[in-house]
Amino acid sequence: MPEYRVGTGFDAHALEEGVRLVLGGVQIDHPRGLAGHSDGDVLAHALTDAVLGAAGLEDIGALFPSSDPKLQGADSLELLSQAWERVQAHGWSLANADVVLVGEEPRLAPHRDEMRRRLAAALDVEPELVAVRATTTDRLGFTGRGEGLAAQVVALLVR
């Protein structure tokens, strides 16, 4: 009988002038990017926490602390891949992941397929197992005011 586990992940970063915007491993042409110790990719960060949580492992901050100078500007997809290797070492496979960006802009639709492919590649799974979606907060809260972006992820693991 297969064993299933669900994990959730959440991340948020402020938008900042002069910083490149990376979402789901895709660099997006936008006047502001996400401030963070790594590349600030909230989609990859939330997905990393979701799969780690489902496997009962440490969170992204424990594995990749912002106090580590070697991680300054790190590629979040690489961090996701490293975390996924730990999850797989415990016998888990991905059943599916649902990745949701929360923010008023940028428009995700032109980049969705590439984000899906890159996130799936970091997990070494088919893109069909990773859904990438977006929603707004109808201008409510920090995401609605354009101060930052957030991401929420649910991941289902099986072994």
pLDDT digits (tens, 9 = 90+) for 39-94: 999 999 999 999 999 999 999 999 999 889 888 889 999 999 999 999 999 999 99
Under 8 Å between Cβ of 139 and 37:
no
Under 8 Å between Cβ of 4 and 55:
no
Q: Which residues span the domain enclosing 58?
A: 4-158
- Domain CATH number, residue 133: 3.30.1330.50
Q: Please give the structure tokens belonging to residue 33.
A: 């990017």
How many domains would you assign to the chain? 1
Please give the model's pTM, rounded to 2 decimal places: 0.96
Beta bridge partners of 16: 33
The torsion region of residue 73 among left (phi > 0), alpha (psi -120 to 50) and beta comes to left
Cβ of 138: how many Cβ atoms within 10 Å?
8
Under 8 Å between Cβ of 17 and 114:
no
